[in-house]
Chains A and B, each alone.
Chain A
Amino acid sequence: MDEAAQQSRLLSGFAKTIAQAKERAAQTSHETKIEAINFNFFYGSFQALRNISIRIPSNQVTAIIGPSGCGKSTFLRAINRMHDRTPGARGEGQLMLDGVNIYGDLDPVKLRRRVGMVFQRPNPFVKSIYDNVAYGLRVQGIRDRRILDEKVETALRRAALWDEVKDRLHKASGTALSGGQQQRLCIARAIAVEPEVILMDEPCSALDPIATMKIEDLIHELSASFTIVIVTHNMQQAMRVSDMTAFMLMDRETRAGELIEFGPTDEIFTNPKDKRTEDYVTGRFG
Chain B
Amino acid sequence: MQQTVTLPQINFTEVFSTKNGAIYQSDSEGCWYVDFAGKLARFDYRNLLKLKKAVYQIDIEDLLLNSEKSADLEIIFICACDHCYVLSLLQIIKLKDLLQGTFAMLELNHIIFDRLHRIIS
Partners in one complex: no
